[in-house]
Structure 1
Amino acid sequence: MLAVRDEDPTRPWDAPGPWWPDEYPEVIGVRDRRANGAWLAEDSPAGRLAVILNRDVLSVPDGSLESRGGIVLASVSGESLPQRPRTAGFNLVEVAGPRAWVTIWDGLRLRRQQLEPGVHMISHDEVDDPRTARIVRWLPDYREITQRQGPEMAFEQWAHQWVAVLSASSALGPFDDRAIIRDNHPHGYPTMSLLVCVAEIRAERVQLASAVLPEPGVWAEAPFVLA
């Protein structure tokens, strides 16, 4: 998995670490300090990882919303989602060993689909959505790498090649609809790309590395640190 975190750079957060020792002693994740939830988290001994993406919804009940970061911590710990989450909309990607799912909450109903073997890409809409410009532009490149090299590439090998595609995508600039590393201010959101994570999930362990972008919304070769 390759995941890019877009967030308001003024909102405080922490890179992957064991930030929940009492409630979730085996969990390592990217913590949102304000709500104490997680954008991405993994439980390595259980072979689980979850990451959440915001999803626009037409309306949500005022004053009754909980943080989406709690959904990630519950998921990676093996807890079931409520049928009507008290959160704004989301796309939740869950991986447990060789299996992966995407759960979509649009504020009205919860949909869950198991992903077929292969390479997939998701942002704020549907899986492999042809309406999302960055998916149309870059998903074929990620699929071609895996088809050419085979699914048994070593972690360092596939991560290097996938990050190379990410680097190439930055030539578009952060305001382009096709960009993966983004500055979303022109689209009406105060979010910018801040962090890149790569992870390999197996039944017996999770290997996770992350790199903080030196400047929000701008790609630069930054060292990846194993969690």
Structure 2
Amino acid sequence: MTQGNVYPITLISDVSMQSKLLKDSLEKGLPIQVNIVSSEALKAYELNGKTIDELVLIDFHYLDDGKFEAYNTAKMQSDATIKEIVFNCPNDAPSSQLFKWRNLVGVFYVDDDISLLLKGMDKIMNDEMWLSRKVAQDYIEHFRCANTVTTSQAYANLTKREKEIMKLLGHGASNVQIADELFVSENTVKTHLHNIFKKINAKNRLQALLWANNNISLEERV
């Protein structure tokens, strides 16, 4: 949800000089309002009925098991689909360490500078994803294997081109990558995505990916 033209984002972190500097940098570079929420504050959300924002920025090293439980409890209170963005991820972290975030839409690494973070956050706010191709494939494959589903009639009703785009979307491809793969313009891809979202009742790429995991068999997605 937006407040005017400003996107509220929950930053899961202790309130510190570093988190305040990150908040200031993000708010100066993007039309967002960053709300710093500690794990202790999250525990109080259940008591007072507060909810976290739809966009959540998480320090890779911050959430230990106890803090992660508090975060999950707060997340379950939200009616919205939470988009999870992880930053400060070690460059050599295996993809499996990211699987606990089920609605992952972005990963930023320790060596990424603020300009790259701002660029990626802007993409995410426009319903893109900011994942390396490898992380996206590993991530989606993990949840595919955990979910045995049969293809729904809704997927069967998509056109051949729409199915091709859904398959590429499922492999973590951006609009530009999809356009290059199919030799069409980026605007054509956006038009197809708009039509797909209407047909499957999805509001964004994340919801489309979640829908795919529950409505398209593994054989269809390979």
Under a length normalisation based on structure 2, what TM-score does the superposition of the two structures give? Answer: 0.33
* More helix as a share of residues: 2
Q: Answer 1 or 2: higher relative contact order, Cα 8 Å, separation at least 6.
A: 1
